[in-house]
Structure 1
Amino acid sequence: MSRMMDQIITFSEDDARRVNFPHHDSLVIESHISNKMVAQILVDNGSSVNIPFKSAFEKTGLTTSELSPCTLTLYGLSREGVIPMEEVKLPVTLGKVPRQAFKYCTFLVVDCSSTYNTILGHSALVEFGAVTSIRHLCIKFPTESGIGTIHRDQKEVRWCYNVSLKHPVMVVEAVAPEQPPSVKMEVEVVLEERDSNELDP
């Protein structure tokens, strides 16, 4: 394991060959979670937790009986704190064979609307030893067969961004009971039907 994590991760302009510049896009990927391919996963280094939104959680075929109690309150998904439905540990797979990595990550299930199906926070990135590059719109991580890479379609990213601009809120932060929240302003995400005409060129 230590030898795998010792691999050097770098980014070059070759990683940006699929990216249209200039851009201010977020990193949105797709990945297997609980053995189902999940699209519109926001990779958010600023989020202290991993979140599957309720609608996406149900589509994976999981039920509330698999959830465990959670005492945290999340700030950033609305103007007031949101108490998660509870938490669950789910298998996450990044990349494709042979450069593929697998981990069990803890998720806090939240019942609110979102453009994204899931938020992958920095706790999961630490577990995978993953490094992100917003300039290159990709994420890299060590595997037994070398460095794995996930690139994302920029049109998908911009569709999510265009929808999310409609309602400003804050960055997601988990706060334990009796601790004051610390928040930053960002954007709220709202679940809407996709219209191909909304995609930027």
Structure 2
Amino acid sequence: MISGGSTDGDSNQARKARSRRECLEVDGRGMNEPVISFGPEDLRGVSLPHNDALVIQARMTNYDILRLEAVETALFGFAGHAVYHEGEITLPLTLGTGDLRKTVMTIFTLVDAPSSYNIILGRPAMNEMRAVASTYHQKIKFPVRGQVGEVKGDHPSSRKCYGETFRVDQKKARREDKGKVVNRVEEVVEERKELPGISPRVAEHKLNILQGSRPVKQKKRDFGPEKDKVIDEQVGELLRTGHIREVQFPTWLSNVVLVPKATGK
């Protein structure tokens, strides 16, 4: 399950308002739609048994990268890890063939993440299409003007994507392991600079964070010209020495805390 983004509201207040509104709304648009079902005939051309993902071909047109809109809320995977995206864009999405073809305007979230899939159709797009998917039958069906349209899954592409996923994950794991080695070297150098000869077994700093806590992003606080000057000087020094680095999309954010010295500075 992938959650977040602007679909559920781009702030806590918007999400709460959406939840209250949905509790009161009753949608009767599906009352006169045809019954969607799957039977043995839908298994023609499907290799059984299988546990393949449902990979389809869809058409998107008239895209313009300049129409990307910024979004604050991250995407969260089933394990709780956060991914901050580059922005969102609304494009027409078309499924089906011939007269049984359906097009809806769909919000797509752009993320900088290696994947063997170009697009993942989420619950909002599937619900807007009134689509029903069956991974077993390798089909998606949806109502079109009183009839039922369908899209067949691409079995070879599904298995190809499955294999590529492992290659992408392995490359990512190797990069992360290499990064850990580099970070460890930097930590050792830092220990020698500030705590020469002191092993982490003797002294080690830990942050006790409550498991399951969500990251907190504080609003920017104004300190005034005099304190801003001090902050700029101190942050600049930390950047030059490599103690800190700039992050464009932090999962948590905390304001600077200024503490006066005994000298009054």
Q: For residue 42 of structure 2, what is the amino acid of its counterpart?
A: D
1:8 aligns with 2:35: yes
Fraction of identical pairs, as percent: 33
State the structure with bigger RCO (CA 8 A, min sep 6), 1 or 2. 1
Q: Which residue of structure 2 lines up, in the alignment, with residue 62 of structure 1?
A: 64
Superposition TM-score, scaled by structure 2 size: 0.50
Task: Give the conservation status (yes or no) of the 8 Å contact 2:54–2:154.
Answer: no
C-alpha separation in 2, matches of 1:180 and 1:105? 29
SS across alignment from 2:128: helix
C-alpha separation in 2, matches of 1:180 and 1:81? 10
Q: Residue 2 of structure 1: CA displacement? A: 3.4
Runs (5+) with no aligned partner, structure 2? 1-27, 173-212, 216-265
Q: Residue 68 of structure 1: CA displacement? A: 1.0
Distance 1:2 1:81, change over 3 A: closer
Superposed counterparts of 1:63-142, under 5 Å: 63=65, 65-76=66-77, 80-142=81-143
C-alpha separation in 2, matches of 1:15 and 1:165? 30
Q: For residue 27 of structure 1, what is the amino acid of its counterpart?
A: L
Superposition TM-score, scaled by structure 1 size: 0.65
Indicate which of 52, 55, 59 corresponds to 1:32: 59
C-alpha separation in 2, matches of 1:165 and 1:145? 42
User: Which one has the largest radius of gyration?
Assistant: 2
C-alpha separation in 2, matches of 1:27 and 1:66? 29
Distance 1:146 1:69, change over 3 A: same
Q: For residue 97 of structure 2, what is the amino acid of its counterpart?
A: K
Runs (5+) with no aligned partner, structure 1? 36-60, 170-178, 182-201
Distance 1:107 1:77, change over 3 A: farther
C-alpha separation in 2, matches of 1:131 and 1:102? 16
Deviations for 1:59-112, whole angstroms, at most 9, x for unmatched residues? Answer: xx632x211111111233999422111111111111012001110011111122
C-alpha separation in 2, matches of 1:129 and 1:80? 29
Structure with greater proportional helix content? 2
Deviates more, 1:124-133 or 1:152-161: 152-161
Q: Which residue of structure 2 lines up, in the alignment, with residue 56 of structure 1?
A: none
SS across alignment from 1:95: strand
Indicate which of 17, 22, 45 corresponds to 1:18: 45
Task: Give the conservation status (yes or no) of the 8 Å contact 1:69–1:86.
Answer: yes
Count residues in correspondence: 146
Distance 1:121 1:146, change over 3 A: same
